[in-house]
Structure 1
Amino acid sequence: MAKEIWNPKGREALRKERLLARKVLKAIDKVDFKPETSAKWTNITKHWNGALRVQIQHQDMVGVSPKMLKWWFENLGQKTTWNGIDFSGEEVSFYHLWHHRDHISVTPLTQPQNGINRGFAVGAYSKIHEQFNDYNEVINNTMLTTVLDETEFSFLIKVGSLTVGRINHYYEPTETGSTFYAETYLGVDIPIIGWFINWIILPMFFSKTTAMHWIRHNIEETGQTDKILLIIQFL
């Protein structure tokens, strides 16, 4: 369920959920995020049509298999009673464990033709709601998952029926775990009107500065994935 963070009750509920996630992470000494320098490389490109492409080749995930990553994204909207020691604690969301400072909620909106949407599922819509606290920037977008398997997790960013961008994650096994690459493309690929949106409207919501903030956020959340998956161990 999406958090109504613009009213006092919603803000207080979110604060408690974030503090609970932080408490769990502190119990396993995993509160600190990885620095931006942990990534192998990053890049921001402004295309001729005004679109922005943001690329991150993350540090390899040790001990995390592509199968585990697929499961993680499929269940990102779930909660656990894991308290850092056992499963007798209060319910805490996977999404807050993933990034206790910035994340607000991930909400399944529709169900796929086959199966259940517990976070993301191919052919289903989900809403991502997060806030880059240091910069007061809010992401509150609807996503349509197009691929989710043991090699790739990709979705389109939708505004109504209009596709305004896409995010692709690619991973493959290594001797010790998995590689992980993330790419965000923000832009409308429609002649003339797309150029106007990309050059005039897009910078109001997602600029190169926003892209730099997103790089930091993505490195921080991705760096938490192996910490959580390797300890929960109930795949």
Structure 2
Amino acid sequence: MARHLPLPAPRPVVQSLRTADTARTSIQRLSHRRMRVAIDHRPLAGITPQMLLWWFRHIGDDLVYAGETMSAYLAWHPLDHIRWELARPAPGGGAGEGARYRIVEAFGRDDDFYVDSVERVEKLDETGIRLVRRVAGAQVFQLEHTWSAGVEGTHYVSVMDLGARTRAATALNLYLTSHVFPVAMAEAWVRHNVEEVGVLEHLLPEVFRQRPDEAPAAAP
């Protein structure tokens, strides 16, 4: 995919990024040339599902990170994130269900793993978020993050599905999973996603220290 936006200078990494081996991950080939990438993250200590719901509703807000005011999205992954836009507000306004997010990033700051895409938020509540892209009415991409409270913190699982489910879409699915988002890119996304989810464990408490009036209940 052609580069549309340049990578900004990296922001400081104020906490060590998690490594892929801290999560349980898999990349599966499914019927009709589809692909599924799943990540079961290490729990997020001190984070609640309510905090995560607030985060995704406010991902475009500004915050102070490492002494500098910037978009929350840029702070979320200080190396790979390029831009987040509310391409279309939710029916009730803002970044809730029904909104469309534009997400621009480069996994590992690598030009070969550059993404600039718009997805519809088909679900956003205290159990998770689901982002979907359709072509001619057929779902060709879905990314779902699910959250639940646990003893060690919030349990967070990410599942990406690439390709439509019908046999007629086999050729399209093959193109998607071999050229648009091949296995090497899926592996890079796994590393990226493990890193950015881990950042939330440290970033969200700082966000709510800056905005105490908006803080949901903290984890015990």
TM over 0.5: yes
Instruction: Provide TM-score, normalisation by structure 2.
Output: 0.86
1:107 aligns with 2:96: no
Aligned to 1:35: 19
Q: Deviations over 1:92-130 (max 9, x none)?
A: 11111111111111110112221322xxx2011111111
More strand per residue: 2
What is the aligned residue count? Answer: 208
Structure 1's unaligned 5+ residue stretches are none
- Find the partner of 2:118 among 135, 142, 150: 142
- Find the partner of 1:15 among 8, 13, 18: 8
1:101 aligned counterpart, secondary structure? coil
User: Could you say if the C-alpha distance between residues 147 and 221 of structure 1 is closer, same or farther in structure 2, counting changes exceeding 3 Å?
Assistant: same
Counterpart AA for 1:108: L
Counterpart AA for 1:168: E
Structure 2's unaligned 5+ residue stretches are 216-220
1:136 aligned counterpart, secondary structure? helix
2:8 aligned counterpart, secondary structure? helix
Aligned to 1:195: 170
Say if 1:125 and 1:145, in contact at 8 Å, map to a contact too. yes
1:116 aligns with 2:100: no
Q: Which has the higher contact order (CA 8 A, sep 6+)?
A: 2
1:106 aligned counterpart, secondary structure? strand
2:199 aligned counterpart, secondary structure? helix
Instruction: Provide TM-score, normalisation by structure 1.
Output: 0.81
Aligned to 2:53: 70
Aligned to 1:91: 69
User: Could you say if the C-alpha distance between residues 140 and 216 of structure 1 is closer, same or farther in structure 2, counting changes exceeding 3 Å?
Assistant: same
CA offset at residue 83 of structure 1? 4.2
Say if 2:147 and 2:154, in contact at 8 Å, map to a contact too. yes
